[in-house]
C-alpha cells in the first residue's frame, strides 16, 4: 500500500511540474503534454530542437547524415562558449561526451529525456554541466522507424506509451548489431560523422530492457573488456559506475544495478545473472576497441513511461555530473590507452597474443541482486514452476557473468598487407577510421599466412547474413607485395579494432560477416585449402 501511495504522489508531482512549468508550450515534451500516454514523432522532436535553438546561443545543430527515407538525423552540440566544429571543440580543451537515444524506436524514454535534458542544460538549472565538457545529443537516431507507431508493439512495456515505433531501421537492420558491418545508413553516419569527426571520450546508448523482472529502475553495462585496452573499462566499472549508483539513489530515488538476466531453470533464488556479450557489433562495446569509454543504459521495461523517463533522466544527469567533474581524467585514461595500444604493437608484435574468440565467465566477486521474488509450486506433472510475487527482495552472493576470457588467441602483428584486389575491404576499413597506405613500391614481408581448411556458415540468417566461422592454421611465410597493394601499419590508434576486424578467426570480424565469402568461393575453398588474402606481417624488408 505504501508503495502504491508513493507512486500516486510521484505521478501527481510530475503532473504539477508539467502544469506549473515556466516553459513555453513549444518547450514541453510530448509525454509531458499527454499525461505520458504518447511519445514524440520525428517532426515533434525537430520542432523541439528548433525551439531550443531559437532561445539559446550555446547550441549548434547539425546532422550526422540521412536515413534511407531521407530524414536528417539531428545532432545537438552544447558548449559554453558555443562551438560549431570539431576544431573549435579541440581548441577549447574540453572533452566531448556523446549520448544517443532511440536506436530502437520502441524504446522511447531516451529520446524524450534527452529533449528534457537539453532544455535544462541550455535554459534551466543544469547549465553548469557545460563548465568542463562539451555535450552532444542525438535524441532520435533511428528516425525512420520512430513514426511507424502501433499499439502493442512492445508487450513488456504494457502500452506505456500507448503507441511506439519499431525496433529495426527502414532497411530492416538492428542498428545495435551493425557496428562492424556498417550496412545501415545510420551506422555510417554515426561512425564517420560523430565518432571520427567529433572524437567523443564517451558514448552512452539509451535503451529499455526486454522484460527481465529485476528490481532496478535502470540497469547498466560498460564497454566490456576483451581485445582492447583494460584501463577505460576499469575506470568505468570500478570508479564511475559505483559513484553514480550512490548519487542517483540519493538525488533521484532510483535504484541502479548491473545489466543481466537470470534463468528460473536454475532454481530460485537466483544464483547468477548473465549479460549479453562482448561483440563490437554493439556500438557500446566497440568503444573499448576505440580506446574510449561506453555505457549502456537499460530502463526497466515494466515501469510506466514516467518512471522509465525519471530513471533514465537521473542516470544521464548523474553521468554528466560525473564527467563534468572528471572529464579530463577520462580523456587522460583514454589517451594513455591509445598510446599503450600503439606501444604494444611496436614492442611486442610477433610475440604478444590477443584473444579473437571469447567465453563468458563470472566476475571474481559476487554481489547482492535486487529482484522481484518468486514462489515455487508443483504443476500437474509434478514439475517445479515459479510464480512472481509483487515483493522486491535482495538476493546475496549472486554471480555476475559479465567477464570475457579468451577461448582462442592469435599473435599480434606489426601490420597487415592486402593485394589491390581487396579494395572493397580497404574501403570498409577506411569508413571505420583505419589508416591505410597504398604501396608505391614493392615490399617484402616476413610473417604468417592463414590457410583456411573450411568455412562454416550458420544455418540461420542473422541480420541478413549467414555468420561465418573460419577453420585453419597460420603458416610462416615471406611474401612480396607490389605497387598498388595496401599496407596497414598497426602502430595507429585503432590497432585493437583493426586486429578484431581482420583476424580470420575473430568471432566478430569481417570474415564473420561474409566480407570474404565470394573470394573463398571463387578460389575453390570447397575443394582445397586456400590462403586468406590478408597477410599478417611481423617485419618488412
In angstroms, rounded to a whole number, what is the distance separating the alpha carbons of residues 104 and 135?
Answer: 22
In angstroms, rounded to a whole number, what is the distance separating the alpha carbons of residues 26 and 53?
Answer: 12
Q: How confident is the model at residue 210 (pLDDT cuts 50, 70, 90)?
A: confident
The residue ranges of DSSP E strands in 25-145, in sequence order, are: 59-66, 72-78, 96-100, 134-138
- Give the pLDDT score at 159: 84
Q: How confident is the model at residue 162 (pLDDT cuts 50, 70, 90)?
A: confident
State pLDDT tens for residues 296-336.
999 999 999 999 999 999 999 999 999 999 999 999 999 99
Please, where are the H alpha helices in 227-304? 231-235, 241-252, 283-289
Q: How confident is the model at residue 21 (pLDDT cuts 50, 70, 90)?
A: low
The answer to whether 145 and 336 are in contact (CB under 8 A) is no
Q: Distance from CA of residue 43 to its chain's centroid?
A: 26
pLDDT at residue 519 is higher than 90 = yes
- Give the pLDDT score at 22: 82
Proportion of the chain in helix, strand, coil states, percent, rounded to 5: 35, 30, 35
Q: How confident is the model at residue 4 (pLDDT cuts 50, 70, 90)?
A: very low
pLDDT at residue 149 is higher than 70 = yes
Which position has the higher pLDDT, 475 or 161? 475
Report the DSSP beta bridge partners of residue 454.
471
The pLDDT > 70 percentage for the chain reads: 96
C-alpha cell at 82: 558555443
Average pLDDT value for residue range 345-356? 98
- Cell 589517451 sits on residue: 335
Q: How confident is the model at residue 463 (pLDDT cuts 50, 70, 90)?
A: very high
**What is the Cα Rg of the chain in Å?**
24
Report the DSSP beta bridge partners of residue 72.
66
Q: How confident is the model at residue 9 (pLDDT cuts 50, 70, 90)?
A: very low
Q: How confident is the model at residue 20 (pLDDT cuts 50, 70, 90)?
A: low
* Weakest mean pLDDT among 207-211, 299-303, 502-506: 207-211
Q: What pTM does this model have?
A: 0.95
Q: Please give the DSSP secondary-structure letter assigned to residue 214.
A: B
C-alpha to C-alpha distances, 273 to 214, 295, 368, 370, 407, nearest whole angstrom: 10, 18, 11, 11, 21
CATH class given for the domain over 42-347: alpha beta
In angstroms, rounded to a whole number, what is the distance separating the alpha carbons of residues 302 and 508?
Answer: 32
pLDDT at residue 27 is higher than 80 = yes
Average pLDDT value for residue range 18-39? 87
Q: Please give the DSSP secondary-structure letter assigned to residue 361.
A: E
Tell me the longest C-alpha to C-alpha distance in the chain: 79
Kindly give, in sequence order, each residue whose CB lies less than 8 Å from that of residue 477, ignoring residues fewer than 6 positions away.
447, 448, 449, 535
User: What DSSP line would sit under 327-354, residue for residue?
Assistant: HHHHHHHHHHHHHHHHHHHHHHTTT-EE
Average pLDDT value for residue range 128-138? 99
What are the CB-based long-range contacts (under 8 Å, 24+) for 57-63?
Answer: 57/82, 58/82, 58/122, 58/130, 59/118, 59/122, 60/84
pLDDT at residue 12 is higher than 50 = no
The residue ranges of DSSP E strands in 427-520, in sequence order, are: 437-438, 443-457, 468-481, 486-489
Q: How confident is the model at residue 340 (pLDDT cuts 50, 70, 90)?
A: very high
C-alpha cell at 464: 541478413
Q: How confident is the model at residue 157 (pLDDT cuts 50, 70, 90)?
A: confident
User: Range(s) for CATH 3.40.630.10 in the chain?
Assistant: 42-347
Average pLDDT value for residue range 359-386? 96
- Give the pLDDT score at 336: 99
- Give the pLDDT score at 1: 47
- Give the pLDDT score at 19: 44
Average pLDDT value for residue range 460-480? 98
The answer to whether 226 and 358 are in contact (CB under 8 A) is yes
Amino acid at each position: 500500500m505504501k508503495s502504491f501511495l508513493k507512486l500516486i504522489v510521484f505521478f501527481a508531482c510530475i503532473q504539477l511540474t508539467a502544469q506549473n512549468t515556466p516553459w513555453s508550450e513549444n518547450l514541453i515534451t510530448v509525454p509531458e503534454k499527454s499525461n505520458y500516454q504518447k511519445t514524440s514523432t520525428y517532426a515533434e522532436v525537430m520542432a523541439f530542437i528548433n525551439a531550443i535553438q531559437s532561445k539559446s546561443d550555446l547550441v549548434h545543430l547539425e546532422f550526422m547524415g540521412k536515413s534511407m527515407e531521407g530524414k536528417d538525423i539531428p545532432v545537438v552540440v552544447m558548449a559554453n562558449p558555443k562551438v560549431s566544429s570539431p576544431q573549435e571543440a579541440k581548441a577549447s580543451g574540453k572533452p566531448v561526451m556523446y549520448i544517443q537515444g532511440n536506436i530502437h524506436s520502441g524504446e522511447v524514454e531516451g529520446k524524450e529525456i534527452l529533449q528534457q535534458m537539453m532544455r535544462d542544460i541550455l535554459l534551466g538549472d543544469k547549465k553548469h554541466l557545460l563548465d568542463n565538457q562539451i555535450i552532444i545529443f542525438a535524441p532520435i537516431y533511428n528516425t525512420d522507424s520512430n513514426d511507424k507507431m502501433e499499439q502493442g508493439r512492445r508487450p513488456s512495456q504494457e502500452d506505456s506509451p500507448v503507441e511506439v515505433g519499431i525496433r529495426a531501421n527502414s532497411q530492416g537492420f538492428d542498428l545495435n548489431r551493425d557496428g562492424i558491418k556498417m550496412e545501415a545508413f545510420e551506422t555510417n553516419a554515426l561512425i564517420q560523422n560523430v565518432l571520427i569527426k567529433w572524437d567523443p571520450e564517451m558514448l552512452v546508448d539509451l535503451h529499455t530492457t526486454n522484460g527481465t523482472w529485476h528490481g532496478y529502475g535502470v540497469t547498466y553495462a560498460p564497454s566490456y573488456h576483451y581485445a582492447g585496452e583494460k584501463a577505460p573499462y576499469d575506470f568505468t566499472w570500478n570508479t564511475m559506475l559505483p559513484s553514480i549508483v550512490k548519487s542517483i539513489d540519493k538525488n533521484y530515488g532510483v535504484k541502479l544495478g548491473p545489466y543481466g538476466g537470470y534463468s528460473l531453470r536454475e532454481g530460485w533464488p537466483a544464483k547468477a545473472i548473465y549479460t549479453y556479450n562482448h561483440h563490437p557489433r554493439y556500438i557500446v562495446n566497440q568503444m573499448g576497441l576505440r580506446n574510449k569509454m561506453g555505457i549502456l543504459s537499460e530502463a526497466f521495461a515494466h515501469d510506466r513511461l514516467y518512471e522509465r523517463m525519471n530513471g533514465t533522466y537521473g542516470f544521464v544527469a548523474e553521468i554528466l555530473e560525473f564527467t563534468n567533474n572528471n572529464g579530463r581524467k577520462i580523456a587522460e585514461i583514454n589517451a594513455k590507452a591509445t598510446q599503450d595500444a600503439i606501444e604494444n604493437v611496436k614492442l611486442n608484435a610477433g610475440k604478444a597474443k590477443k584473444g579473437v574468440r571469447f567465453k563468458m565467465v563470472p566476475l571474481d566477486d559476487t554481489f547482492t541482486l535486487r529482484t522481484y521474488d518468486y514462489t515455487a509450486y508443483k504443476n500437474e506433472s509434478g514439475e517445479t514452476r515459479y510464480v512472481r510475487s509483487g515483493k522486491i527482495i535482495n538476493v546475496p552472493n549472486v554471480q555476475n557473468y559479465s567477464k570475457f576470457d579468451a577461448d582462442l588467441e592469435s599473435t599480434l602483428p606489426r601490420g597487415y598487407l592486402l593485394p589491390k584486389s581487396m579494395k572493397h575491404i580497404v574501403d570498409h576499413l577506411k569508413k571505420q577510421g583505419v589508416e591505410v597506405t597504398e604501396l608505391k613500391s614493392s615490399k617484402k614481408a616476413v610473417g604468417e599466412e592463414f590457410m583456411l581448411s573450411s568455412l562454416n556458415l550458420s544455418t540461420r540468417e542473422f541480420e541478413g547474413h549467414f555468420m561465418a566461422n573460419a577453420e585453419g592454421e597460420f603458416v610462416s611465410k615471406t611474401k612480396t607485395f607490389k605497387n598498388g597493394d595496401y599496407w596497414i601499419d598497426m602502430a595507429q590508434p585503432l590497432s585493437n579494432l583493426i586486429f578484431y576486424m581482420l583476424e580470420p578467426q575473430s568471432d566478430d570480424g569481417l570474415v564473420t560477416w561474409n566480407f570474404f565469402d565470394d573470394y573463398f568461393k571463387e578460389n575453390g575453398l570447397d575443394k582445397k585449402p586456400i590462403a586468406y588474402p590478408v597477410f599478417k606481417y611481423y617485419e618488412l624488408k
